[in-house]
Amino acid sequence: MGDIEVDEHNNDLAVSNKTNKCKLKRAWKDEDDETDDIKEHKKILRQKFISIVGKPKWAKIDDKSINDIGNDEDILRYSGNLAQPKKGVSLAKGIISIKKVRGLDLSTSSCGKVVKALEFHPTANLALVGGSSGRVSIVQVDGYKNEKLQSVKFEKFSVDCAHFTTDGQQFVAGSRSHHNFYCYDLMEGRSMFVPVHHAIGQSKMSKFHMSPDGKIIASCGKYGNIHLFTAKSKEWITTLKMNGEVSALTFTSDGKRMYSFGDMGEIYEWDMNSRLCVKKFMDDGCLQGTSLALSHNDQYLAAGSSAGVVNLYKLPYDVHPKPEKTILNLVTAVTRLSFNKNSDILSMASDYKENAIKLLHVSSKTVFSNFPTTSSDVGKVYSMDFSPNSGYLGLGNDKGQALLFKLTHFHNY
C-alpha cells in the first residue's frame, strides 16, 4: 500500500483558519456531509494505522471507556510491537554506540525549512514530524524504510510545537503565530480546531507540554503566565503566574508536580492538585533560564541557561540546592533538553549553532566523546526525542531534515 496523504487542496480534509474562532466547541466535520470519496479515504487511513499499531481497546465501538483498559500487558497487546531494552547490561560511559540510519523525512512531504516538531509515539513504532510548512506527517519507524502512514496540512499555520496525547490517540499542534491550536485524531482522520478562550489574554502555543497522567496540557504564555487546558476536551482551566517570562516546563512521571523555568533564573515547583507553587529556588549561577527537563525516574532535574550551562540537580532537593553536576560543553543558549526513557542519557542542544548537541552519561556525569562527529552534520537542532525504549534518537534541524540515529546498546525501539 502506498503513501497516504491528506490533500492540502482538499477543503474537506485540510485544516482551515476560517473555522469559527468565537466558540469553544469541537470542530469535527459532520460525517453526514462528507462525500463517499472522503469516507473511503478515512477508512483507508484507519486500516493502515490499525495494521501497524493493532486495534486498541479505545478504538472499539462500544460503551466501554478507556479506563476499562487493564494492566500494562493488556495495553501493550493492543499498542504495536515494542522491544524491551537489554537487561543486565549497563550503558558504558565514554563512547556511545550510535549509528545514523535513514531519516524520518525521506518518506514524507516537506515539513518546511525547519523541523520544529519530532516526537515518538508513546506505545507504537511511530513518530510525528512537523515544521514551518504547517505539515505534520506520521511515520512508521523501522530505521530502514520509515514509511509515511499519513500526513495532514494545517493551512497558514506554521507548526512550532506538536505532541502526541498521552494515550496516543491524537496529536496536538501549536504555533507561535496563532493563539489557537489544532488537534488531529489518528484513528478517525479528523482535525479539530481549538479556539483559545479570550479570557487568558495574549498567548501563543509555540511551547506546550502534555502531563504524563494524561490530564493536562500546559502552555508557556507571556508575562510569566502558564495556561492549563484539559487534555480531553482541550478547554482552558486556569492560568498560573510566575515572575518574569516563562521559558520551559516539565512534569514528574505521575503528573502531580510541574516545574517551570524563566528569564529570572528561578525554578518553580507546582502542585498540580492545588495549582499552587510549593517551592522555588534560584538556578545556580543562572542569569536567564531557557530549558528544563526531568528524568523519567524523577531522580534528576536538568536546567539549561542562556550561557550554555546545564545544571543537573538530584531530587529531592534542599531549600537552596546546589547542582550535582554543571555541564559546560555548550557555548550558546541551551534550547533543548531531553532524557531518554531509561534516564541514563541526557541530550542537550542549542539551535543557535551548527552541531551544538551533546549526550550526557547520567550515572557518571560525563559527556560521550564521539557524538556528534565532524561527519554527523546534524545542523541546528530544533527538536529532539528518544524512542520509548531508547533504541532511536530523532533530531529535527534547520535543513528540513528529521534525522534518525540508532543507539545499538538498546533494542530497535
pLDDT of residue 105: 79
pLDDT of residue 200: 76
Q: Is residue 374 part of a domain?
A: yes
Expressed in angstroms, the distance from the first to the final Cα of the chain is 23
Kindly report, residue by residue over 52-93, the tens digit of the pLDDT: 555 554 344 343 333 333 333 332 333 344 444 455 588 999
Instruction: Residue 300: give its domain's CATH number.
Output: 2.130.10.10
Whether residue 323 is preceded by a cis peptide bond, meaning omega within 30 degrees of 0, is: no
Cα(155)–Cα(133) distance, rounded to whole angstroms?
A: 9
Kindly report, residue by residue over 136-192, the tens digit of the pLDDT: 999 999 999 999 998 999 988 999 999 999 999 999 999 988 888 999 999 888 999
Residue 389 has pLDDT above 90, yes or no: yes
Residue by residue, what is the 3-state secondary structure of 179-244? CCEEEEECCCCEEEEECCCHHHCCCCCCCEEECCCCCEEEEECCCCEEEEEECCCCCEEEEEECCC
pLDDT of residue 107: 62
Q: 275 is in which domain, residue-wise? A: 31-407
Q: Is residue 72 part of a domain?
A: yes
Q: 88: phi > 0 → left, psi -120 to 50 → alpha, else beta; which?
A: left
Residue 35 has pLDDT above 70, yes or no: no
**Predicted TM-score (pTM) of this structure:** 0.81
Residue 2 has pLDDT above 60, yes or no: no
Residue 20 has pLDDT above 50, yes or no: no
Q: Which percentage of the chain shows pLDDT scores above 90?
A: 66
pLDDT of residue 71: 37
Residue 373 has pLDDT above 90, yes or no: no
Q: What is the band of 50 on the pLDDT scale with cuts at 50, 70, 90? A: low
CA proximity to 327, closest of 309, 315, 314: 309
More confident residue, 137 or 31: 137
Tell me the helices (H) and strands (E) count for the chain, helix number first. 2, 28
Residue 29 has pLDDT above 70, yes or no: no
Distant-in-sequence, close-in-space partners of 64: CB < 8 Å, separation ≥ 6: 57
More confident residue, 373 or 209: 209
Region 406-411: what's the mean pLDDT? 90
Q: Is residue 11 part of a domain?
A: no
pLDDT of residue 267: 97
Q: Is residue 327 part of a domain?
A: yes
pLDDT of residue 187: 86
Cα(9)–Cα(61) distance, rounded to whole angstroms?
A: 31
Kindly report, residue by residue over 208-251, the tens digit of the pLDDT: 999 999 999 999 999 999 999 999 999 999 999 999 999 999 99
> Whole-number mean pLDDT of the chain?
83
pLDDT of residue 36: 64
Can you read off the three cell numbers belonging to residue 117?
516538531
Residue 30 has pLDDT above 50, yes or no: no
Cα-based angle 253, 237, 288 (whole degrees, multiple of 5): 60
Q: Which residues of 176-187 are buried (b: 16+ CB within 10 A; e: fewer)?
A: eebbbbbbbebb
For residues 57, 58, 63, 69, the Cα torsion angle rounded to the nearest 10 degrees is 60
Cα(242)–Cα(86) distance, rounded to whole angstroms?
A: 42
Domain total in the chain: 1
More confident residue, 139 or 413: 139
Cα(366)–Cα(229) distance, rounded to whole angstroms?
A: 38
